[in-house]
């Protein structure tokens, strides 16, 4: 069973090689690796091209932002399963993809697999400053402030084919809207693999500033309305409590 892994990148010459090497070091034998660059103006593509013989597809063109880039990357995939690794992040270990794909192989009714992630500072991969430990999807999962960590999410390509990809006009929370649409609205079946999937570098777009945090929350509220769902009264309080718990 083939898995397609997409890395979207823009002006990240500093860390893109770590993400690439993280994918290329996986022990799973059937990986289609795709790097989608947004027309970087630094030396990102020089770094990427050092690995071009080991990357299935490389595209460098201007896009309309991170979610548009993800959508373009998904269009390029030929695997049965799709995962997205940000250019700042790395997989937890060399067995990560094998563990994910084993779940798909053993559970034909599962449409997506997700797991936990940890956050680290700069280049000290072992210095964990935040742990996002999620739980199995169930009743009131989203209503209680839960959401699968998107970097730790793998989805069958058929789900994207059937319900569409990411809403490109969102800047922060289109991944949230997609998961709400897939699992809450369309009842696709996710599976929680209780393992750490990704090590994520602190300073991502959604937490880079108070302005971005507020924008992300507005987009989350809009995601519920777009999907014709009532916004839970305590959603924001639950989300704040979850994030505080992750720092403990």
Q: Indicate the helix (H) or strand (E) that contains 175.
A: helix 174-179
Per-residue pLDDT, averaged over 239-245, amounts to 69
- Per mean pLDDT, which range of 1-15, 42-56, 138-152, 225-239 is the poorest? 225-239
pLDDT for 218: 92
For 173-225, the pLDDT digits (tens) are: 999 999 999 999 999 999 999 999 999 998 655 445 578 888 988 999 999 99
pLDDT for 206: 47
Which residue in the block uniquely carries the two structure tokens 């690796």?
33
pLDDT for 248: 52
Residues 123, 242, 187, 153: what is their CA dihedral angle, to the nearest 10 degrees? Answer: 10
Q: Indicate the helix (H) or strand (E) that contains 5.
A: strand 3-9
List beta partners, residue 44. Answer: none
For 72-129, the pLDDT digits (tens) are: 999 999 999 999 999 999 999 999 999 999 999 999 999 999 999 999 987 777 788 8
**pTM of the predicted model over 0.95:** no
Look up the CATH superfamily of 3-246: Spore Coat Polysaccharide Biosynthesis Protein SpsA; Chain A (3.90.550.10)
Confidence band of 238 (pLDDT split at 50, 70, 90): low
Per-residue pLDDT, averaged over 23-35, amounts to 98
pLDDT for 127: 83
Q: Give the domain ranges of the chain.
A: 3-246
Q: Indicate the helix (H) or strand (E) that contains 66.
A: helix 66-75
pLDDT for 75: 98
- Per mean pLDDT, which range of 70-74, 140-144, 239-243 is the poorest? 239-243
Name the residue among 10, 88, 90, 17 with its Cα closest to residue 50: 17
């Amino acid at each position: 069973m083939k898995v397609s892994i997409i890395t979207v990148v823009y002006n990240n010459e500093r860390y893109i090689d770590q993400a690439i090497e993280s994918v290329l070091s996986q022990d799973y034998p059937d990986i289609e690796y795709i790097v989608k660059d947004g027309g970087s103006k630094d030396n990102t593509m020089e770094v990427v091209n050092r690995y071009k013989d080991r990357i299935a597809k490389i595209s460098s063109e201007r896009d309309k932002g991170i979610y548009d880039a993800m959508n373009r990357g998904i269009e390029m995939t030929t695997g049965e399963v799709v995962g997205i690794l940000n250019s700042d992040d790395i997989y937890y270990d060399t067995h990560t993809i094998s563990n994910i794909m084993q779940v798909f192989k053993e559970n034909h009714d599962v449409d997506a697999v997700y797991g936990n992630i940890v956050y680290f500072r700069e280049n000290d991969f072992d210095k964990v400053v935040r742990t996002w430990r999620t739980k199995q999807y169930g009743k009131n999962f989203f209503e209680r402030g839960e959401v699968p960590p998107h970097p730790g999410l793998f989805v069958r390509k058929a789900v994207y084919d059937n319900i569409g990809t990411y809403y490109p006009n969102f800047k922060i929370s289109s991944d949230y809207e997609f998961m709400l649409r897939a699992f809450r609205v369309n009842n696709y079946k996710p599976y929680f693999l209780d393992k750490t999937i990704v090590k994520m570098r602190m300073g991502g777009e959604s937490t880079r500033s108070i302005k971005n945090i507020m924008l992300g929350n507005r987009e989350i509220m809009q995601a519920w309305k777009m999907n014709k769902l009532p916004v839970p009264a305590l959603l924001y309080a639950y989300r704040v409590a979850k994030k505080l718990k992750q720092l403990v």
